[in-house]
Structure 1
């Protein structure tokens, strides 16, 4: 009795694990058509009153993204060579998906040339992950509302592109 139960249980586990697994696709997925292109944030509401703020430039190509985050800070960082007089830029790349009004981006911090960032360098390294509530104002204006911040990212379309999926 115990042996047949163990065999049945093992068979069930194998079947479930087989059904729950899926292969990664050979090609990029098309992503969201309205996002395809480059989106620029020019300013932040009340930026003159803020001690520090960030400006975003987001690029979407098929299901991939690249973001540059330029931070401006009035706080005295001392002799830190990383802050370069209160301004610095960080970069990340990865993939995104959207469910309803929430955009989920997940990737890694990288250098401006898309190469992966040395973890011993300045600022953040490793995983970059964020969720945004999306408000599409017009075809060329989108508001990204980070779930980790109260400051909305109002962007305008700088350049539109069309997704041509590439092999992975």
Structure 2
């Protein structure tokens, strides 16, 4: 007597075999195009409010295709617990690079902290290292001015375009 498999067993077997192939795909080997309106270098404008704050930071963004590089220059009138070798006269800089996505008015940056020369920062030492993630709500003020509202802060800031960049995707 020949044994046959029930029909539901065959359906389950096909699903188990095909599901991994449908869910997996290779990452692209080229940079994505990014958001055309963001391509370039953006410098945060300073405001009179900053002079009244105990601590504040100034952002400089560089968007090229789907990649970003950000330098965050921080200023403090009080030492925030960092050694004097890290905080030079109440000033210090941090850097990060990675990829960004924008959905509607929300800009999400995901990357890693790095050194000023784009090399990845080792764990330890002064300030933050490892993963960098930040989310901003964007509001276009003009063709060359955007208001960034960090979700981690209550103080929005304006940035102006200082140099336009054309996206030329590079191999990864």
TM-score between both structures, scaled by the size of structure 2: 0.89
Residue number in structure 1 paired with 2:167: 163
Question: Please, which runs of 5 or more residues in structure 1 have no aligned partner?
Answer: none
CA positional deviation for 1:100: 0.9
**Secondary structure at 1:15's aligned position in 2?**
helix
Answer yes or no: is 1:108 the counterpart of 2:115. no
Distance in structure 1 (CA, Å) of the matches to 2:44 and 2:61: 9
TM-score between both structures, scaled by the size of structure 1: 0.91
Distance in structure 1 (CA, Å) of the matches to 2:78 and 2:137: 29
Choose which of 124, 127, 139 in structure 2 pairs with 1:123.
Answer: 127
Q: Deviations over 1:6-31 (max 9, x none)?
A: 66434313322221212101111110
Answer yes or no: is 1:63 the counterpart of 2:73. no
Question: Please, which runs of 5 or more residues in structure 2 have no aligned partner?
Answer: none
Q: What is the RMSD of the two structures over their aligned residues, measured on CA atoms?
A: 1.9
Distance in structure 2 (CA, Å) of the matches to 1:50 and 1:18: 54
Distance in structure 2 (CA, Å) of the matches to 1:89 and 1:3: 66
Q: In structure 2, do the counterparts of structure 1 residues 44 and 126 end up closer, same or farther at CA, with 3 Å as the change threshold?
A: farther
Q: How many residue pairs get matched?
A: 168
Q: Deviations over 1:17-67 (max 9, x none)?
A: 221212101111110011000000131451122110000000000000000
Q: Deviations over 1:130-159 (max 9, x none)?
A: 111111111100111111111112100010
Q: Superposed, which structure 2 residues align to 1:22-33 within 5 Å?
A: 22-33=25-36
Distance in structure 2 (CA, Å) of the matches to 1:80 and 1:88: 11
